[in-house]
Chain A
């Protein structure tokens, strides 16, 4: 029997890697970005841009791929002050969506995180593993979104497809 999930390969998003002290980032890009999430492994959003707090002094800004050039023009990675770093990394991450009633069952096969909603809430986002590969994991409407290094995209799609097939009876 198959798990009751929908697996969707979403491909690339516009993603910018932001590093530095929160105040320095706010000074440079505060107007173009949603408020910086304060708590580790949480996110904020606004104006079509989402901000993920994925490490100490480390954030990802994500938007639909169509917004990439606009966002780059606003963030001006080439001109930013030396105490912060802004790097376009859109090409490095391939995104997947796993949604439906059994989404958490399939995620439990792929990922060692405790994804119960009391632990991994609606605004949670973190780097973890998917089939042993470093992966970004977050909640989305009706399930989970994950992203892996894009060169692993085909392989992870195969793994996820196989995982969806093998519901124990």
Chain B
């Protein structure tokens, strides 16, 4: 372990955490901890606590552990030991310094990627344990500032970035106009009742990357899809509340999302390239509301592009020739097994592909997901240090272009590339498809 590490770990002071800690009393701390650990958990939690033998087999699975020279404090079991076990041992009577460290571990030293659970002989889900710690932090009001702000935004606007309702529609209309450079009659149909598909995105798209909406519209138009986008809240499929343990807001976001689709009477929802939003809609947000599964089918962009290409609705003019590699986002790969489909799209659109190692469900996480990047600028340096293993993995590919079909991964990987001076460009699968596709409208039978 590097001697400076302890300092570095604590260097980022987060006002929301500090002010939150100031407000707390020891009674409140133990009340919340005991309530969450004893009233909100069940057999699964007890099994995890009772079964973990602290054998450390999961340690090498964690990119935080690997990036920090195998510092034992970063092993998955140690993260639980430093948080939940201690809370249980002390019956919730823990200090503010303990909590400051617990917030940090749960929000910045684990991106709830679930890689470790694949290596645990008992399949213990450390991500679940860390999310419980985050739930405690949420109730104690010591969640880091920037991610809390995204949840605040969700709670008011039902989108993650305070995108105002008029800005959203205006952006869609502006992208529609721009898209008419490709196809003069291109539309982004708003609120089209009975369309087959509702297309949904995450708030960073209208805010910073509106060009992605333009690309999606061109792809939809060329493929001849009967699609729509909602003008009203419910368009954002992201869910940061899921990552701060604000389960109630998380449920409200998921309800708004699915009811928006149900009101439009669409058959299915196609979503852009986002990993966590996918997890929220097919696994977490729906369950909060007593829906065992997504009540309206949610199709990730990877599945959708694959469908368009194999059905011949989109054809490739000329394959992308630069050397590319592919990052498997945990939430769509480990979580949903879409990695082979992603490879098929790469094979159909790119001529020079190199795997990174490890890959598919064993891929190392980008280090940004699970809400880590959303904790914001105060933690960027630390995030870069915790991403060393990922940087080494990327460098070893020798690829010029890194395809990452997930927004968080995308931003996180861009930071890594910049920080470690890797000469790579990050692209979405949609970018590659847009660049290589034939810009002509699909007509059945042609």
Do A and B interact with each other, yes or no? Answer: no
